[in-house]
Structure 1
Amino acid sequence: MTLRKKIILFSSVFMFLVIAISHTAIYFLFYRAASNGEIDQLHVQADALVEAVAENNSLSEEEMGDLLKAYLPANGIIRMINESENDVMPVQTKSQRYTDLRVNYTTSETSDIVQDKAGNNFAMIEKPIIWENGDIVTVQIANELVYFDETIGSLTYVLLFSSAVLLIPTVIASIVLSRFLLTPIQKLKDTMRRNIHNKNWQKIDIESRFKDENWEKSDVKKRSKDEIYEMETTFNEMIDSLKENFEKQEAFVSNASHELKTPIQIIKSYAQLIERQGKKRPELLDESVSAIDSEADRMQKLVGQMLLLAKHKNESQQQEVNIREIIEQVIQTFQKAYPDRKIHFDAEAGNYTTFGNIDQIKQIPYILIENALKYSEEAILIKMRIDTEKIQIQFKDDGEGIAPEEQEKIFDRFYRVDRARNRETGGTGLGLAIAKEIIEIHGGEITVESEVGQGSTFIWTLVK
C-alpha cells in the first residue's frame, strides 16, 4: 500500500470513528434527556390520577370510568390491574392497539419506556393504590411518544447527514494533504533517480515561481520554511557535498595517477636502457640504478603520503599531549639530519598540554619544518605563544615567498607553486594538505602569511 493511500485511509477511518463515537453519544444523551422529560410529564398526570381515584373510591363503575377518561392521555391507555393481572374495571383507551402493551402487576411504583409489538415507544407509569374492597391494585398509565419518535427519527437523519458532510470533506482534505506532503517527496525521489542514472548532480528547485495578473513577468514566491523545506534544503546541501567530494576524489585520482606516471616512466626508461646497452656500456649501470632508486623512493614517499591521508580519517584515539615537547623532539631530529641548517626555537613559558592523537600531531611539525628547509637556505625560526584558550605556533622561513593568489591553493592536494622546482626537490604537493587535514581534525586551523621575496610564515593555531 502506498503512503498516499495510507494517509487517506488512516485519516478517513480515524475521522469515521470520531464521528461515530461523538454522534452515538449525542444520540443517547438526547434520547435519555427527551425520554426522561416525557416520563416526568406523565408522572404529574399519574399522580393527579391516583389522588383523584383515592378521593373518589366509592364511585360506581360507570362514574369511575368517566373519572379515568378525564385523565386519559391523548395517545395512551389507563388500566386498573389486580394481583391476578386482570382488569378490575374496563380499560380506558382511545385505540385498541394500545391494549397490546404489557400487563404488569406491581406493588411498587415503576416508570419506563416500553415498546409495543409494532415497535412504537410508550412512556409507562405503574403505581399501586388501595381499591374499594381493600385490595391493592396497580394503576397503569401509558402514553405513546409520537412526537418523541418523530424527533428521534429526525435526529437520526440529521446525525447521518452530518456524518456524511463531515466525512466527505475529511476524505478530500486527506487527499489534498497527501498530495501536499508527497509531491515534494516524489520530486525528491525523481531527482535522486535522475542523479543515479545520469550522474548530473541535479538539485531540487525549492522556490516556486508564479506569474502576475498581467502575465508579463514572473516573481519568486517564498515558501514557508517547514520540515519539507528543510528536507529539500538538506538534500541540496548533500548534493553539493557529494559533488564536491566526488570532484575532489576524481582530481585526487587523476593527480595521483599523473604523479605516479612520471617515476614509473623514468624507471621503465632506465630499465629499457640497461636492457639495450647495459652489457656494452657498464658505466650506464650506476647512473640507471641511481635514477631508478631515486624515483622508487619518490614513488614510495608519494604512496605513503596518500595512505596517510586516508589513515587520518579513521584514527580518532586521543590522549593528553604536550605540544612543546613534540616540537622540541622534531627539531632535534631535523638538526641531527641537517647539521648545517639552523633552527631557532622561541617559546613562551606556560602549559602547552592539550588533547589529540600524538602520532598525527607529530606529522604537523615534521611537514612544516621540512617544507621550510626545502624552500629556504637560511635559518628557520619557530615561535610558540600561549594564552588561556589557545596555543599558536609559527614556522618562519626566508625563502622566495608565495604570491597572494597562490596562498589559498597551497593547501590543496598535489598543488605546487613551482612544479618544476618542486619536482627537483622531491615535493609531492601533499604535505601541506596532510598538515591541514590533521589540524582541522583536532579543531585547529592553519594559515600562511607571505610576500614574494620576503619568506613565509605558517601559523598553526589549536585550542587548549
Structure 2
Amino acid sequence: MKLGNRIQVYTTGLFIILLVMISAAVYFSFSKIVYDSDVDQTRVEVERIVSGINERSGDSLSADVLRAYVPANGMIRLVLPDGTSEVSLTGGNQENLIEQAYPYEAGEKAEVRSFEGVPYAFVSIPIVWTNGEVVSFQLTRSLEATAQNLSILRIVLVTVAVLAMIPFFLSSRLLSRLIVTPIHSLIHTMQQIRGSGQFKKISYEGKSKDELVQMADTFNTMIDQLEDNYQKQEQFVSNASHELKTPLTVIESYASLLKRRGKQEEELFQESVEAIHSEAKRMRELTEQLLLLARKEEHWDVQFESIELSRLLQTTVASFEKAYQRKVELRCTQEIHLTTDEQKLKQLLYIFMDNARKYSEEAIEVNVERKENHVAIRVMDRGIGMSQKDLEKVFDRFYQVDESRTEGYGLGLSLAKELAHALRADLQLSSEKGSGTTATILLPRSEDSHLQGV
C-alpha cells in the first residue's frame, strides 16, 4: 500500500473509531439517564398510589377502586405470596401485559424490563392488603415513547457521524497529498539522477519551515556536496593519473633499454637501474601522500599529549638540517607547553620547511610567538615567493606554483591542510613575489601552558 493511501486509511479509520466510540458513549449515557429518570417517576407514582390506598384502608378496596390509579399506558397488579394474582388492571391498549410473568417480590424493586420488544418501567412495593396479608403491589408503565426518542437519537447520531466523515475523508486526502507530494518529487528527482547520471535538485515553492521543506533543503544541500565531491574526485583521479604517467613512462623506457642493450653496456645498465629506482621511489612517495589524503579525519589516529614546544622544534630542526644540509635559524626563547600530537606536528613542520628548501637558497627561519589564546609557529624563506593568484590555489591538490620544477607533486600543502585540521590548528600563508613566503601554524594553547624567561 502506498504511503498516501496508508495515511488516508489510517487517519480515516482512526477518526471513524473515535466517532463511533463517542457516539456510542453519548447514546448509552443518555439512554441510561432517561430510563433511570422514567423508573424514578414510576416509583414516585407507585408511592403516591400506595399512599392513597393507605388513606382508604378503612373502606373496602376493590378492583373498581384501584382502576382509578391505573396509568393510561401501564398495568397495576397485586401478587399474593403464593404467586397468584389478586388484581390485574391495564390501561389503554396494554392488555397484552396481562400475559407478562408476575413473580412475587418480597422487597422493593425498580428496573426496566422488556416485553415483546417494548421497554417498560417496573416497580414493586410490598403493602398490607385488606385481609392483613402482605402482597406485592406492582406497577408496569410503558416506555415506548422514550424508546422512540432514543431511536430518533440513534438516527441523528449515525447521520451526524456519516456527514462528519465526508469532510474528514476529504481533509485526510488533502493531508496525504500535502505530505506525499514532496516525497514523490524526491523520488522522481532521484530516479532522474540515477537515469541520467547528472545531479539535480528538488524544486519547491513556499516559505514555510516545516519538516518537508527541511527535507528538501537537506536533500539539495546533500546534492551540492555530492556534486562538489564528485568533481573533486574526478579532478583528483585525473591529476593522479597524470602524475603517475610520467614515472611509469620513464620506468617502461629504461626497462626496454635494459632489455635490448643492458647486458652489453655497463653505463647504460647503471643509468637505467638508477632511473628506475628513482622513479619507483617517487611513485612510492606519491602513493603514500595520496593514501594520507584519502583518509578520513577519524582515521588519522591523533594522539594528543602535553609536549614542550621548544624541545620539539629543536629536534625537528636538527633532523632537517642533517637530512638536507640546509641552515635553519630557530628563534624560540620561551618555554611553551602544548597539548597536541607530537608526530603529526613534526610532519606538518617538515612539509613547510621542505617547501622553503625547494623554493629558496638562503637560510630558513623558524620563529615562535606566544599569543593570548594560541601559539604561532612561523616558517619563513627568502625565496621566489608567489602571487596572490597562486596563494588562492596553493592548497589545492596537485597545484604547483612553478611548473618547471620536477621536485614534488603538489600534494604537500593539501596534506598540511588535512594535518592542521586533525590537530585543531589554523594555517595562514603570506607571500610576495620575489621576496619569499611565510607559513604560520596557529596552535591552541593548553590550560597548563606557561611562560618562563620572559
**Normalising to structure 1: TM-score of the pair?**
0.89
Deviation, 1:245, is 1.3
Structure 2 residue 70 is matched with structure 1 residue 85: no
Which residue of the partner structure matches residue 349 of structure 1? Answer: 334
Aligned runs of 1:294-333 on 2, under 5 Å? 294-311=278-295, 313=297, 314-322=299-307, 324=309, 325-333=311-319
Aligned mates of 1:26, 1:227 — CA distance in 2: 38
Could you tell me which of 243, 252, 260 is aligned with 1:268? 252
DSSP-derived class of the 1:169 partner: helix
Q: Letter of the aligned partner of 1:343 in structure 2?
A: V
DSSP-derived class of the 2:85 partner: coil
Deviation, 1:4, is 2.5
Aligned mates of 2:70, 2:344 — CA distance in 1: 107
Give the stretch that moved more between structures: 69-78 or 366-375.
69-78
Which residue of the partner structure matches residue 34 of structure 1? Answer: 34
Classify 1:276/1:69 alpha carbon distance in 2 versus 1 (closer, same or farther; 3 Å): same
Q: Letter of the aligned partner of 1:436 in structure 2?
A: K
| Percent identity (aligned) | 35
Classify 1:102/1:386 alpha carbon distance in 2 versus 1 (closer, same or farther; 3 Å): farther
Deviation, 1:31, is 0.9
Between Structure 1 and Structure 2, how many residues are aligned? 442
Aligned runs of 1:43-442 on 2, under 5 Å? 43-61=43-61, 64-95=62-93, 96-116=95-115, 118-205=116-203, 207-208=204-205, 222-276=206-260, 278=262, 282-311=266-295, 313=297, 314-322=299-307, 324=309, 325-339=311-325, 341-347=326-332, 349-356=334-341, 358-421=342-405, 423=406, 426-442=407-423
Classify 1:350/1:125 alpha carbon distance in 2 versus 1 (closer, same or farther; 3 Å): farther
Question: After TM superposition, which residue ranges in structure 1, 4 or more long, deviate above 6 angstroms?
Answer: none
Structure 2 residue 428 is matched with structure 1 residue 447: yes
Aligned mates of 1:286, 1:92 — CA distance in 2: 136
Q: Letter of the aligned partner of 2:318 in structure 1?
A: Q
Deviation, 1:271, is 3.3
Gaps of 5+ in 2: 446-454
Aligned mates of 2:16, 2:98 — CA distance in 1: 43
Deviation, 1:428, is 0.5
DSSP-derived class of the 2:329 partner: strand
Give the stretch that moved more between structures: 305-314 or 240-249.
305-314
Which residue of the partner structure matches residue 24 of structure 1? Answer: 24
Classify 1:328/1:71 alpha carbon distance in 2 versus 1 (closer, same or farther; 3 Å): farther
Aligned mates of 1:238, 1:431 — CA distance in 2: 29
Alpha-carbon displacement from aligned partner over 1:408-460 (angstroms, at most 9, x marks no partner)? 21111100111112x1xx11000110010111123222121111122111111
Gaps of 5+ in 1: 209-221
Aligned mates of 1:360, 1:194 — CA distance in 2: 44
8 Å Cα contact 1:382-1:396 kept in structure 2: yes
Aligned mates of 1:165, 1:347 — CA distance in 2: 87
8 Å Cα contact 2:328-2:363 kept in structure 1: yes
**Normalising to structure 2: TM-score of the pair?**
0.91
RMSD: 2.1
Aligned mates of 1:266, 1:257 — CA distance in 2: 14
Give the stretch that moved more between structures: 142-151 or 430-439.
142-151
